[in-house]
Amino acid sequence: MGQVQLEAALPVGADPRLHARALAKVHEAALAGTTLPGHPRAVIGASWRRMRRLGLDPDRGAPVPALAPDQLEARRRESGLAAVLPALRGGLISLAEQAAHIMAVVDADGRVLWRDGSTAVRRRADALGFVEGVDWHENSAGTNAIGTALVARHPVQVYSAEHYVRNQHDWTCAAAPLHDPRDGRLLGAVDLSGPASTVHPTTLALVDAVAKLAEAHLRTTHLSELERLRGLASPLLTKLKGRAVIADPHGWVAASAGFVPVGRIALPNDATAGRTWLPTYGNCLLEPLPGGWLVRVADEEDAPPTRVVLDLTSSRESTLRVSGAAGTWSHRLSPRHAEMLYVLALHRDGRSASELSLDLFGDAGRTVTVRAEMSRMRRHFGGILLARPYRFDDGVELVVERPADGGEVLPYSVAPAVRA
Pick from 401, 205, 201, 380: nearest CA to 308: 401
Tell me, letter by letter, the H, E, C secondary structure of 76-92: HHHHCCHHHHHHHHHHH
Tell me the per-residue pLDDT of 161-194, one tens digit each, with 9 for 90 and over.
Answer: 999 999 999 999 999 999 999 888 899 999 999 9
Query: Per residue in 392-404, is it b (16+ CB within 10 Å) or e — as a string?
Result: bbeebebeeebee
Task: Name which of 9-13, 46-50, 347-351 the model is least confident about.
Answer: 9-13
Read off the amino acid at residue 161: A
Specify the pTM. Answer: 0.79
Give the pLDDT of residue 329. 76
State yes or no: pLDDT of 324 exceeds 80: no
Pick from 289, 281, 288: nearest CA to 326: 281
What does pLDDT average to over the chain?
A: 89
Cis omega (within 30 of 0) for bond into 389:
yes
For the chain, how are helix, strand and coil distributed in percent, rounded to 5? 40, 25, 35
Give the pLDDT of residue 1. 46
State the sign of the Cα–Cα–Cα–Cα dihedral 119, 120, 121, 125.
positive
Which residues are within 8 A (CB) of 285 and not within 5 positions of it... i.e. 6 or more apart? 274, 275, 295, 296, 298
Which residues are within 8 A (CB) of 388 and not within 5 positions of it... i.e. 6 or more apart? none
Give the pLDDT of residue 289. 86
Read off the pLDDT band of 327 (50, 70, 90): low
Higher pLDDT: 144 or 326? It is 144
The β-bridge partners of 112 are: 106
CB atoms within 10 A of CB 97: 17
